[in-house]
Amino acid sequence: QKEVEQDPGPLSVPEGAIVSLNCTYSNSAFQYFMWYRQYSRKGPELLMYTYSSGNKEDGRFTAQVDKSSKYISLFIRDSQPSDSATYLCAMIPRQGAQKLVFGQGTRLTINP
């Protein structure tokens, strides 16, 4: 079993829809949770990071962490064609550790 599970998709939705991307994890030691967006042939771009449980909002993006369920989500409101990319969740255990543990990534396409 992988430490972090993420549905690779592909996921295709119409423009303007609310998108929900999710990851589950097995290691209860994870404390920091990140979402990266990666366009084709580019490096990942940090979108959101959260510490422990709770919600964090930034514009059209909301990151949600439920540590009791070992489940994290990224919501995209009013999705745009420019949001079409691969979204990677990543997490890291207690402060001091350095290695990000990535999910497989979900390929998202927003159709105009």
Considering the rule CB under 8 A, would residue 32 count as an interface residue with another protein? yes
- Applying CB under 8 A, which of residues 21, 83, 105, 108 lies at the interface with another protein? 105
Strands (E), the chain: 4-5, 11-14, 19-25, 32-38, 45-51, 54-58, 61-66, 71-76, 85-92, 101-102, 106-111
* Shortest separation between residue 62's beta carbon and another protein, angstroms: 18
Query: Does the protein bind another protein through residue 48 (CB under 8 A)?
Result: no
| 95: contact with another protein by CB under 8 A | yes
Q: What angle do CA 19, 13, 58 make, to 5 degrees?
A: 30
CA nearest neighbour of 29 among 67, 65, 2, 1:
67
Within 12-31, the residues that bind another protein by CB under 8 A are: none
Check binding of 3 to another protein (CB under 8 A): no
* Residues at the interface with another protein (CB under 8 A): 8, 32, 34, 36, 41-46, 49, 51, 88, 92, 95-100, 102-105, 107
